[in-house]
Amino acid sequence: MSITGPGTKLSGREFDVATVRADFPILSRKINDHPLVYLDNAATTQKPRQVIDAISNYYEQTNSNVHRGVHTLSIEATDAYEVARAKVAKFINAPRPETVIWTRNTSESLNLVAATWADKNVGEGDNIVITAMEHHSNIVPWQQLAARKHAELRYLAAGKDGLLDMANIESTIDSRTKIVSATHISNVLGTVNPVAELANRAHEVGAVILIDAAQSVPHMAVDVQAIDADFLCFSAHKMLGPTGIGVLYGKYDLLDEMPPFMFGGDMILEVTYEDAKWNELPYKFEAGTPNIADAIATGVAVDYLTDLEMDNVWEHEQQLTAYALDRLTALNGITIFGPEDPALRGGVISFVHDKIHPHDLGTALDQQGIAIRTGHHCAMPLIRSYDVVAAARASFYVYNTKTEIDALVSGINDTERYFVR
């Protein structure tokens, strides 16, 4: 069922959810004799047939290593691999393809910047600023770096309303700040953070900004030049692509000055028995045989989202989120974390029931074919700041519908009748 009805206009072109859903083979599955209702998209998204076929096609028709051969298969694989990089660059409006580095995932991209640029530029007495709503991948590397460098790790606070407290931004991001690293959209609260404002403040004091865009690039139009991001990273598997492939974008001059993250084949220009010289960008950061098939498939995922148009994707999710907030807030015993205004959040809703543990709720919903996330969502400090140890989370994407949200609400009601007597 379409959230708007077949053929309804969203942002200038038709967006028919039924047509979209037909591209995803897994959505025809039944779980425990119920139609699958997949609402765990913040963890990973499902894959359209086009992406699945791209992986198969590579191994069936083009399988070869890249950048190293003059034979037909190697040339074809290299061309497809680099075309995918160019697609990603265009998707985020990077000024040149070589500023797009292939990594394994967002976590590796964050660690790459911490281990290279930050390790080189952060010293004793300096500070690193992150927000209180970060994923563990954007907390732990900075904790480790701060301890190693005798630097200070500072947090921009988040209020109980789910919004960043920007009142103290000038005292928190100061002349000793070297890097600000912030999530664009919280994977727990759904909050859309003012990353352009954070970037502006970082640049005022001579710092750089790194943006964790794992929850934004898949869902909304993101322009790295408009934000003035120094670094930005995301994962393909959260945007219809395969697992095991991610992206780090960086400004060319910053990447060019950074030391390599790993050493090995293809990241070198010349090696002698005494020393080595590094390859040019982006290959300096892509040691060894890369994840060729999944990079190519990521390009196909970008094609799919580009064809849908990101304004349509965002508007679709905004409508779903507003509808879900209305339905869930009408239930007894439910507390929702994050901004009340759906315009201030992405398609992520974390909540707790006052009488049902999130894990029990998640298990009961699974018996009805409904997949949600439960736990601390790799954001344990943030979850604990709400005086809970776990939460349930429903998250939406291009193939979800209002009917599925109705199924979620009905499932919660059924679970409550079982647990609350």
Q: Quick check: is 225 in a domain?
A: yes
pLDDT averaged per 10 residues, the chain (length 421): 34 75 97 97 98 98 91 96 98 98 98 97 98 96 98 95 94 97 97 98 98 98 98 98 98 96 84 85 92 98 97 96 97 95 95 95 97 92 90 98 98 88 64
Domain closes at, from 267, 285, 307: 307
| 395 residue type, one letter | S
Q: Quick check: is 7 in a domain?
A: no
Query: Helix (H, G, I), strand (E, B), or coil: what is residue 304?
Result: helix
**CATH number of the domain within which 129 lies:** 3.40.640.10
101 & 169 share domain: yes
Find the farthest-apart pair of alpha carbons in the chain and give their distance in angstroms, rounded: 75
Measured over the CA atoms of residue 172, residue 174, residue 176 and residue 179, the dihedral's sign is: positive
Domain closes at, from 250, 283, 307: 307
Query: Cis peptide before 218, with omega less than 30 degrees from 0?
Result: no
188 & 280 share domain: yes
The catalytically annotated residue of 166, 378, 380, 409 is 378
Residue with tokens 């959810």: 17
Distances (CA, A) of 57 to 45, 63, 69, 212, 333: 21, 9, 20, 31, 50
Is 378 a residue of the active site?
A: yes
Domain closes at, from 307, 337, 355: 307
Contacts of 306 (CB under 8 A, 6+ apart): 91
Q: Quick check: is 9 in a domain?
A: no
**CATH number of the domain within which 378 lies:** 3.90.1150.10
pLDDT of residue 7: 36
41 & 131 share domain: no
DSSP state of 379: -
Q: Quick check: is 95 in a domain?
A: yes
Q: Which residue range(s) make up the domain with 128?
A: 52-307
Measured over the CA atoms of residue 75, residue 80, residue 85 and residue 91, the dihedral's sign is: positive
Query: Helix (H, G, I), strand (E, B), or coil: what is residue 2?
Result: coil
Query: Residue 376 in contact with residue 383, Cβ under 8 Å?
Result: yes
Query: Residue 226 in contact with residue 195, Cβ under 8 Å?
Result: no
